[in-house]
Amino acid sequence: MHNDAAKAELIDAGRWVADKGWVPATGGNFSMRTQSGFVVTASGHDKGKLDTHHFLELDDNGNIVAGEGKPSAETALHLKLYALRPSTQCILHTHSVAATVLSRFFQGDAFSVTGYEMQKSLSGVTTHLEPLNIAIFDNDQDIPRLAELVAKHHETTPIVHGVLIRGHGMYAMGDNVFETRRHIEGLEFLFACELERLKLEGIK
């Protein structure tokens, strides 16, 4: 995909994800793989009101080749996720209330659900009967260090749909922008169900 087409897709995804309330304030950042490398959102903008000049163009090694401002503070994590899973074309990082709260509530190293038909909204999932696991990593302001932790985890437990960062949000990935959007929507549905379930069942 050309850089300009990738920016157009990310501007559209930004409006959608902002309408859902999943990128409050200037939270979140987006990227796509392109013919010449990557495009990534510039840091500090409202991701629901992106324009074509709110992006940096990077080469295959992550070096800036065009654009204004600073690349997203979390660019190193995007680049690591692309390297870990070469078919990934689009990464959308969101800050929903549900992802933020549940990643703090569940103390373990994964958000795990079983029994929901909507698990099948995620690529490769064919049944509600097996657990769906989304890895949770402790938040870290040192993004390269966090990216290394994610890479280490991927060696034994491949990351397919995305990861949660505790008290922070989610990184969702897919082989095109529509798949990434579907993964976000499917996972957010599952997060919302789990929040409702916890309210009804109480904390045990």
Ligand X SMILES: CSC[C@@H](O)[C@@H](O)C(=O)COP(=O)(O)O
CB-nearer residue toward ligand X: 41 or 96: 41
Min separation Cβ 96 and ligand X, Å: 12
Min separation Cβ 100 and ligand X, Å: 11
Residue 43 touching ligand X (CB under 6 A): yes
Binding-site member from 4, 5, 44, 144 for ligand X (CB under 6 A): 44
Q: What is the C-alpha separation between 173 and 9, in angstroms, rounded?
A: 14
**Binding residue per annotation — 93?**
yes
Binding to ligand X in span 23-42, by CB under 6 A: 25-29, 41
Binding to ligand X in span 130-159, by CB under 6 A: none
**Binding residue per annotation — 95?**
yes
Min separation Cβ 42 and ligand X, Å: 8
> Which distant-in-sequence residues (6+ apart) come within 8 Å of 34 by Cβ?
1, 2, 3, 6, 57
Yes or no: say if 151 and 131 are a contact pair by the CB < 8 Å rule.
no
> Which distant-in-sequence residues (6+ apart) come within 8 Å of 156 by Cβ?
none
Q: Where are the beta strands (DSSP E) in 114-174?
A: 132-137, 162-165, 169-174
CB-nearer residue toward ligand X: 47 or 118: 47
End-to-end CA distance of the chain: 49
Residue ranges that bind ligand X, judged by CB under 6 A: 25-29, 41, 43-44, 72-74, 93
